[in-house]
Structure 1
Amino acid sequence: MKIHKRYISALVALLFAVPAVAQVPAPAPKQSKPVLLKGATLHVGNGQVVENAAVGFDNGKITYAGPQSGANLSGYEVVDVTGQHIYPGLIQPNAALGLNEVESVRATIDWREVGEMNPNVRSVIAYNTDSDIIPTVRANGVLMTQVTPVGGTIAGTSSIVQLDAWNWEDAIVKADVGMHLNWPSMLIETGNRQADERLRRMAEEREKTMLELDKLFREAAVYKSGKHDSQNLKLASMTGLFDGTQKLYIHANYGKEMIEGVNFAKKHGVKEIVVVGARDAVAVADFLKANNVSVIYSGVHALPSRAEEDVDMPYKTPYLLHQAGIPFALDYDLAIHGIRNLPFIAGTAAAYGLDKEQALASVTLNTAKILGVDKQVGSVEVGKDATLVVSAGDLLDMRTNNVTHAFIQGRKIDLTDKQKFLYEKFNTKYKDQQQQVPAGATSSSAGK
């Protein structure tokens, strides 16, 4: 018994001896009083820009957005942001944020389920609000994301969450907005003696997958009609595809795959279709437009898909999609740690043809429309959620982006994150060392 107590005492002492490290900030409390931001340039998100503007919000909703001269200051806590810029909170679509923390630690990876056909999987219930990555993306103005499952042929459903909550239930903005279908690839790498055999096996596997998909969608349509004797969770989870309450997100990049996937969905009566990835979207723009298909374009900061393409093709694709009249949003599709760069891919698109406000819309209002949450978020307009950011510089320019305030549903967000904590920690260390260098000594000699 004495040994047991001794070990407990040692453990307690060790815990108190460990220095404090950066933790994910606690979620902000509900807005308690009306707030009015004044003096900034307002970028509404729908293409409009208001100089010397004011934005007021109460109980989490925007009550005023317009010229400062028309704002009623009575009863508001006024925050002077003169010379800064107000933007809608940015929205990252198609992300495993909160589902994957440390790739080398299996227990922190929860973005896919076992098996190929998992329409009943709900990714949002695995969403981790305590992820260390979340504060780092909020610091650059990304305040919402589409939590998306990965892997298999049908990965499951995605949900829209805001990035400041105690748990996944509190985080939900709109649950189970769409089903994610990874379209079977038509392409395979060749260049070796086994190429023919690999192609043959691939063709067989693809044909098998296509038959399984066709069967599943036909059965789901019958289930939707009510012609069934027992409950089937997989089929029940797909019924929204046939009445337009749920969208089908087809993940495909190759032009023929996009056409095949859309035609497949249309054949089975799917009402709302979005293509994700869409590297070849410009090549099949007429087809996409004719079928009212929206696009979540991935890979702005990427190399061209083909050797014959212009080297800047990924950069100018957003502009070409806009010119073609295709509804589109931008997605930072690389490592989830890079989601904080979402505003900068919009900035790149602006440098390669898009108007600056059109580029902003591609990561705010356009995304909200495609995800089906534009009535709540995506622009700074009266009646919508007060989910917005204030930046001392251009939010889309990595040289001047400097988020000074962020609000989610009217709640003021703590912009502290792990990187900032480490910066302050080591900045203090080296400042202290610099001050300890004796007068007349150089820093290099002091280091010796």
Structure 2
Amino acid sequence: MKHIFFSLTLLTALPALAQVPTPAPAQSKPLLLMGGTLHVGNGTVIPDATVAFDKGRLTYAGPQAGFTQDKSGYEVVDVKGQQIYPGLILPNTTLGLTEVEAIRATVDEAEVGAINPNVRALIAYNTDSDILPTVRTNGVLLAQITPRGGVISGQSSIVQLDAWNWQDAAVRADDGLHLNWPALILKLNPAEDAAALEKREKARQQQLRDLEQLLSEAAAYRSLPAGRKENLRLSSLAGLFDGSKTLFLHADYGKEIIEGVRFAKRLGVQKVTVVGARDAWMMLDFIKQNDVAVILSRVHALPRRTGDDYDQPYKLPAQLQQAGIRYCLDYEGGMEAPGARNLAFIAGTAAGHGLTPEQALTAVTLSPARILGIDKDYGSLEAGKSATLVVSTGDLLDMRTNNVTRAYIDGRGFNLTNKQTYLRDKFKGKYGQK
């Protein structure tokens, strides 16, 4: 009987620990955050500020002295001494698609095959992922859920991170196509002979021909009369030619970036964003002249070449800023999904290597909102926009002082607990810490 009782207790306790907090209900009463320092997200900082929101929308965000409405109908929260920020936006991520990277059954980020423009990451997004609450606790409230693998991985979507299901989570569905540009053929193995190198080059050229044929067919498909039999692969690419979707070109080497951008422009693609772009510092003029946005990956990385500056990855955001290039930051790399909680600290590193703190904040709030096409509602704290924000007792971009005490998505204040906070509190108790 003791064994049975213990087993039943364990079975009931484990699910309770594993469950993600219930999504918050819609905002029911107007709310005021008063006395905090407001970081708008566009470079403006307002001390002793008031932020008011109702029905999920901001009605006021400015100096406390400028708010003259009757406060009696509001729930008033004193955040004096704290910092108020827009919710961080994470582009190019597998959040909700990957749970435990070492367990294949929990990884749903890639489809079989090399060219899958009709694949939609959104329908695979898991709102019950245990990783999502750990990311929200550090201020990340929206994300671009992005497929991986192949040459054309599929279509990404932008979601908010407190929802019952993928339908509720969707902020902008199918915002763009992700193209992994075929890598340049480099002889990295001294033992590789000329014939093997030539074989790899021929395979790459065939990939480029296949890509060109596919995009040319997709452009022609748009001109066919209504009532035609739908071709899902071609119709999913149609938005690239009218600007309703963005081509996210994943490339790192300078020559790959130039080749990929010229390829897309030549075939009539209207909006191109380079993802990765670790060699962007070598071709700032090219990127600027072609009006290409950049989603910069791997700021926390070693230099790519032995001759590069030791801090080249850290200072690249500042170089893009100085060149006037549209850019934002992501978190792509090893342990990508759980590591996404460090997005704020990626921006903090950039702030320590040439960016101002507010420029770094913009790189993870308003800039990604603009690049992803959701800046009408998200990315900055201005009247009329969504009340998606976080409150921290310290600097959100500094891992030493980051401490989010409140967070709201579309005005809904949600539970900030997660497995990591549970374990923290558990072991604080064990060792007698307060």
TM-score bucket of the superposed structures, by smaller chain: over 0.9
Partner of 2:89: 91
Partner of 1:117: 115
Contact preservation (8 Å) 1:180, 1:250: yes
Partner of 1:341: 342
Name the aligned partner's letter for residue 371 of structure 2: I
1:388 equivalent in alignment to 2:389: yes
Contact preservation (8 Å) 1:86, 1:391: yes
1:253 equivalent in alignment to 2:255: no
Count residues with an aligned counterpart: 424
Partner SS for 1:431? coil
- 1:18-48 CA-partner distances (Å, limit 9, x unpaired): 3342421110111110111000000000010
- Cα offset for 1:108? 1.0
Name the aligned partner's letter for residue 90 of structure 1: L
Task: Please give the alpha-carbon distance, in whole angstroms, between the structure 1 residues aligned to 2:123 and 2:384.
Answer: 29
Contact preservation (8 Å) 2:185, 2:197: no
Name which of 139, 143, 150 aligns with 1:145: 143
Name which of 165, 168, 184 aligns with 1:167: 165
Name the aligned partner's letter for residue 280 of structure 1: D
- 1:292-348 CA-partner distances (Å, limit 9, x unpaired): 100001111001111111000001000000111110000111222111110011111
Q: From the superposition, tell whether residues 195 and 358 of structure 1 become closer, same or farther in structure 2 (CA, over 3 Å).
A: farther
Contact preservation (8 Å) 1:90, 1:141: yes
- 1:88-114 CA-partner distances (Å, limit 9, x unpaired): 000000000000111222221110100
Partner SS for 2:349? helix
Name the aligned partner's letter for residue 14 of structure 1: S
Name the aligned partner's letter for residue 294 of structure 2: V
Partner of 2:268: 269
TM-score by length of 2: 0.95
Map 1:235-254 onto structure 2 (within 5 A): 235-254=234-253
- 1:171-219 CA-partner distances (Å, limit 9, x unpaired): 0011000000000000445233225344222201101100100000000
Name the aligned partner's letter for residue 189 of structure 2: G
Name which of 8, 32, 40 aligns with 1:15: 8
1:397 equivalent in alignment to 2:393: no
Task: Please give the alpha-carbon distance, in whole angstroms, between the structure 1 residues aligned to 2:150 and 2:8.
Answer: 42
- Cα offset for 1:272? 0.5
Give % identity. 58
Partner of 2:422: 421
1:59 equivalent in alignment to 2:58: no
Contact preservation (8 Å) 1:22, 1:421: no
The answer for unaligned runs of 5 or more in structure 1 is 1-5, 433-448
Name the aligned partner's letter for residue 157 of structure 1: Q
Map 1:30-429 onto structure 2 (within 5 A): 30-71=26-67, 72=69, 73-188=71-186, 190-226=188-224, 229-334=228-333, 335-429=336-430
17-26 or 294-303, which moves further after superposition?
17-26
Task: Please give the alpha-carbon distance, in whole angstroms, between the structure 2 residues aligned to 1:364 and 1:376.
Answer: 12
- 1:407-434 CA-partner distances (Å, limit 9, x unpaired): 00000021101111112222323439xx
Structure with higher Rg: it is: 1
- 1:98-151 CA-partner distances (Å, limit 9, x unpaired): 001112222211101000110000000000001111011101000010000000
Q: From the superposition, tell whether residues 12 and 205 of structure 1 become closer, same or farther in structure 2 (CA, over 3 Å).
A: farther
Task: Please give the alpha-carbon distance, in whole angstroms, between the structure 2 residues aligned to 1:121 and 1:405.
Answer: 36
Name the aligned partner's letter for residue 221 of structure 2: Y
Name the aligned partner's letter for residue 400 of structure 1: T
Contact preservation (8 Å) 1:129, 1:164: yes
